[in-house]
């Protein structure tokens, strides 16, 4: 097995993404924003009013709430501040559709968003139109490309892309909880790949690697900065994510019943919740099925396993004689790969087997499934929290969560990059989260 060198600090590939407003025209931003808003509506289009109002679990939100909240974000952080004479659509919407910004005022508790039977979906759609018309006026007002308003417009666009993924994740959680197991869309005909390729290990030499975004990069969230040096010891990483077939081996070997593989909190969680498989898996007549956006479907053995918690990912890695990669190992590998994969634009809306055969490098780093790392979600060295309520976007969650990398089948391609840091609590598994194995060498 060959060992691949890590990218040198001065040669490391920059993160990928959309051009920042400082270097792209406002008309380009205007078009991207309109396309993003239209895609959000397209994702909601297959749903009826009843679907859009319900909330399955505390982590999830109704689709109607997402449609309103993304408009509230633009209204509160951009229009109310920078568009003279802007009129709030409804002053009560601040309470209904604020998510977690303490600096923006009181709000409906997250677990009770499903109780917002009013406003109606028609009124929420009117709210979206009201905000979009005001955004057009703001663009027409002589907006400066490098102004704070322009930067917040870009942030709002990226924020809406995050909620596009959440709409799909949350509707899957809702339909999985419905005894009728409804489908978000019909399943197109497809052949199932019966067996995964053998897992292969790729060695990396380690060294000092530059991690994160810098001032000259394309758009990045504040938690991706500042760019800094990280020491990485020699390691190996799997060429692809863990598959459904490999997870079935874990189950059949008693992995969920052996406390030797589990962290204390993880063991307590699976005992309390009765977990015996990933979320949305069901055994019927000796056959394992999984709830997907196309309804209840047979497991695809070669596809990446999805909807597992950090606790489960960590236990599987220990059972396999490996570990989860650190987020710095993951990013150092991803810096050397193109940002391509099974993402939202591909339309699969589910993890797929690898599209290419093994060519000596890591595959499926982007798309398919978010990949758990063993890294705690913490600020980077010299991180500075942005001022004001917008500083709550990421910084207030830098405690007791773990980092995931790479995006998933519901992530827009223009939204993801090598430096992107997602984060979840160890118990959470409703997002499209899976894992890739790593292991130490030479120690």
DSSP label at residue 78: I
**pLDDT by residue (tens digit) across 6-48?**
543 322 222 233 333 343 578 888 999 999 999 999 999 999 9
Q: What is the C-alpha to C-alpha distance for residues 122 and 127, in angstroms, rounded to an integer?
A: 9
Beta-bridge partners for 231: 208
Looking only at the bridges linking them, the beta strands covering 370-376 and 433-434 are parallel
How high is the pLDDT of residue 23?
36
Q: Look at residue 228 and give its three-state secondary structure.
A: strand
Q: Look at residue 208 and give its three-state secondary structure.
A: strand
Distances (CA, A) of 105 to 27, 91, 94, 99: 33, 12, 8, 10
Between helix 121-140 and helix 26-44 the angle, nearest 10°, is: 170
Distances (CA, A) of 421 to 110, 301, 375, 378, 388: 23, 28, 11, 10, 22
**pLDDT by residue (tens digit) across 84-100?**
999 999 999 999 999 99
By percentage, how much of the chain surpasses pLDDT 70?
93
- Exposed, middle or buried: residue 316 (CB in 10 Å: 0-12, 13-18, 19+)? buried
**pLDDT by residue (tens digit) across 180-217?**
999 999 988 777 776 788 999 999 999 999 999 976 66
Q: Look at residue 3 and give its three-state secondary structure.
A: strand
* Angle in degrees, CA 403, 406, 411, rounded to 5: 110
Consecutive H or E run containing 367: strand 366-367
How high is the pLDDT of residue 146?
82
Q: What is the C-alpha to C-alpha distance for residues 363 and 372, in angstroms, rounded to an integer?
A: 16
Contacts of 35 (CB under 8 A, 6+ apart): none
**What pLDDT band is residue 143 in, cutting at 50, 70 and 90?**
confident
How high is the pLDDT of residue 142?
85
Distances (CA, A) of 381 to 206, 226, 331: 20, 7, 16
**Cα R_g (the chain), whole angstroms:** 22
Residue 2 has pLDDT above 60, yes or no: no
Phi, psi of 433 (to 5 degrees): -110, 135
Alpha helix positions (H), 253-395: 264-273, 310-319, 327-334
The rounded mean pLDDT for the chain is 92
Nearest CA to 207 among 418, 5, 440? 5
**pLDDT by residue (tens digit) across 308-332?**
999 999 999 999 999 999 999 999 9
70, 62 Cβ separation under 8 angstroms = no
How high is the pLDDT of residue 12?
27
- Exposed, middle or buried: residue 420 (CB in 10 Å: 0-12, 13-18, 19+)? buried
Peptide bond into 119 cis (omega under 30): yes
Q: What is the mean pLDDT of residues 362-381?
A: 98
DSSP characters for 239-294?
SSPPBHHHHHHHHHTTGGG-GGGS-HHHHHHHHHHT-SSSTTEEEETTEEEEEETT
Q: What is the C-alpha to C-alpha distance for residues 328 and 10, in angstroms, rounded to an integer?
A: 17
Q: What is the mean pLDDT of residues 69-86?
A: 97
Consecutive H or E run containing 297: strand 295-298
Q: What is the mean pLDDT of residues 297-309?
A: 96
């Amino acid at each position: 097995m060959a060992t691949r060198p890590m990218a040198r600090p001065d040669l490391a590939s920059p993160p990928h993404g959309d051009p920042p407003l400082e270097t792209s025209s406002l008309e380009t931003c205007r078009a991207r924003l309109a396309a993003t808003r239209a895609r959000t509506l397209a994702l909601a289009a297959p749903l009826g009013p009843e679907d859009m109002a319900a909330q399955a679990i505390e982590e999830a939100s109704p689709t109607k709430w997402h449609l309103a909240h993304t408009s509230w974000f633009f209204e509160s952080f951009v229009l109310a501040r920078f568009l003279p004479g802007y009129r709030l659509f409804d002053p009560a919407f601040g309470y209904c559709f604020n998510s977690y910004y303490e600096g923006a005022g009181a709000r409906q508790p997250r677990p009770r968003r499903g109780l917002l039977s009013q406003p109606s979906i028609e009124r929420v759609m009117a709210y979206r139109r009201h905000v979009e018309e005001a955004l057009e006026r703001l663009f027409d007002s002589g907006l400066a490309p490098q102004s704070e308003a322009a930067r917040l417009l870009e942030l709002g666009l990226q924020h809406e892309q995050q909620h596009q993924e959440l709409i799909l994740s949350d509707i899957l959680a809702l339909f999985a909880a419905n005894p009728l197991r409804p489908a978000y869309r019909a399943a197109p005909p497809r052949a199932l790949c019966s067996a995964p390729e053998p897992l292969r290990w790729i060695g990396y030499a380690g060294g000092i690697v530059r991690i994160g975004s810098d001032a000259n990069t394309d758009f990045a969230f504040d938690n991706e900065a500042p760019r800094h040096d990280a020491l990485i010891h020699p390691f190996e990483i799997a060429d692809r994510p863990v598959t459904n077939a490999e997870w079935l081996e874990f189950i059949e070997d008693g992995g969920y019943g052996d406390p030797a593989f589990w962290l204390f909190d993880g063991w307590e969680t699976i005992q309390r919740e009765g977990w015996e498989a990933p979320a949305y898996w069901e055994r019927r007549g000796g056959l394992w099925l999984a709830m997907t956006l196309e309804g209840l479907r047979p497991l695809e053995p070669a596809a990446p396993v999805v909807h597992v918690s950090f606790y489960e990912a960590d236990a599987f890695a220990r059972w396999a004689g490996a570990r989860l990669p650190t987020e710095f190992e993951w990013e150092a590998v991803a810096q050397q790969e193109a940002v391509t994969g099974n993402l939202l634009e591909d339309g699969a809306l589910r993890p797929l087997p690898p599209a290419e055969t093994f060519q000596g490098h890591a595959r499926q780093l982007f798309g398919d499934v978010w990949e758990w790392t063993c890294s705690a979600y913490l600020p980077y060295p010299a991180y500075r929290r942005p001022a004001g309520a917008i500083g709550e976007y990421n910084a207030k969650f830098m405690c007791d969560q773990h980092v995931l990398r790479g995006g998933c089948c519901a992530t827009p391609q223009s939204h993801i990059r090598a430096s992107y840091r997602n984060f979840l609590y160890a118990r959470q598994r409703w997002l499209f989260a899976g894992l890739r194995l790593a292991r130490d060498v030479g120690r």
